Amino acid sequence: MALGRGLGDILSEVEEAYQKDLSDINSFELESKGAHLEEVLVSEINPNPFQPRKHFDEKSLEELATSIKVHGLLQPIVVVKKENKYILIAGERRLRAHKLSNLNTIKAIIADISMDEIKLRELALIENIQRENLNAIELANSYKELIDIHAITHDDLSDIVHKSRSQITNTMRLLSLSPYVQKQLVLEKITQGHAKTLIGLSHEKQKIILDSIMGQKLSVRDTEKIIKNHKSNSKVLNNNKDILLIEKYKKEFDEALPFTYKLKMKSIEISLTNEKDIVDFLNFIKKPKKV
């Protein structure tokens, strides 16, 4: 497996401090582990270019900004130094909230770690996955990116991010949904349970049912019933098409078959009621073909 050092290894020396309240952080202990706490200019911090999280709830950010103004920052962000700037590793919401509050500086744990592009990408993905900061679509894309970049299996990824294989597989199946459905899921117009029921339907049918879910505020169970009925109706429709197709050739069958028969969905049932019928049928199928 080509996967480099993930969050568990790269931030092992600062993870314990990161989980603590600022007042509980032991600076000497932190420095002994290759990191230190510092007040950093917000303007000098660049986001991780490989941050998989794309959607941030504005109302939630405003609430966090207000809380930071009133109570201060309770947990520091984590950054690494690169040239004369810093790259954010953990704490995107806190950094954004500081910017909303027009605060010039932010408390940050600066990890003394060498970072290349691959590690930055891995760290952004794994940090968000392990902290469960991603919506379902971002999470699915993160799983896919790690699997594609490193050519690993779902089982390998399960060991890395500490999620079950079935959870990874089921989450990635959401990427087969139409862009319209994915967008509504990200916007929390529907739940992941709703989205899963739409997998396997055409994009057109997904939109029709999704609009019904949102318009009528349907539960997941109600949605499952609608889709079950849709699939049943589709099956009947397809069966009817098959019957119509075979019925189209009824005249030819009448001329070619000297037997009592019934046309079925995708077959013909020939009635052989006695030995003579059997012999006649065998002679019929053995009849030499005209060249």
Return the amino acid letter for 90.
A
DSSP 145-200: HHHHHHT--HHHHHHHHT--HHHHHHHHGGGGS-HHHHHHHHTTSS-HHHHHHHTT
92 carries an active-site annotation: yes
Q: Which of 15, 39, 83, 92 is catalytic?
A: 92
Q: How far apart, in whole angstroms, are the C-alpha atoms of residue 248 and residue 261?
A: 15
Q: Which residues of 224-233 are buried (b: 16+ CB within 10 A; e: fewer)?
A: eebbeeeeee
Indicate the length of the chain as a whole number.
291
Q: How far apart, in whole angstroms, are the C-alpha atoms of residue 123 and residue 87?
A: 12
Return the amino acid letter for 186.
V
DSSP 224-282: HHHHHHHHHHHHHHHHHHHHHHHHTTHHHHHHH--S-EEE-SS-EEE---SHHHHHHHH
Helix, strand, coil shares of the chain, percent, nearest 5, are: 60, 10, 30
Q: Which residue(s) pair with 85 in the sheet? A: 82
SS3 of residue 80 by DSSP = strand
**Active-site annotation, residues:** 92
